Amino acid sequence: MAQKTTRRVDSESVQGKGTYVVVRKLTLGEAQTVRDMAKDGAVDDFAMSLNLLKDHVVEWNWSDAEERPFPLPSADGTILGKLTDDEAMFLVTALRGSLTEAALKRG
């Protein structure tokens, strides 16, 4: 069986009914690098996680308040700056996989 490298997460709690995000899971090496850099004070843990989102959000159907679709962060990294705090935290949590999909659905 092939390794499952992505996680699809329902994002209704931050983006509305029928929305989702697909993230490429962090490798153990990437996760360790984030932890080491944060521990050494070289970078803020949250900022590092946001930077990783540019490469790890592989699909989503998110949009702004006027229902204009958001481009993927890999296509336009500035989109992350347009997210609400709740949306950004949701993505960081989804990326890290620290909550189960059921917990993410509950918001």
What is the full per-residue pLDDT of the chain (107 aa) written as tens digits?
777 889 899 999 999 999 999 999 888 888 777 777 767 665 566 667 777 888 899 999 999 999 999 999 999 989 999 999 999 889 988 887 744 444 444 44
Angle between helices 85-96 and 45-56 (to 10 degrees): 80
Asked whether 22 and 30 are in contact (CB, 8 A), the reply is no
- Cross-strand partners of 6: 24
- Cross-strand partners of 8: 22
Closest CA to 23 of 91, 102, 98, 104: 91
Closest CA to 80 of 37, 38, 49: 49
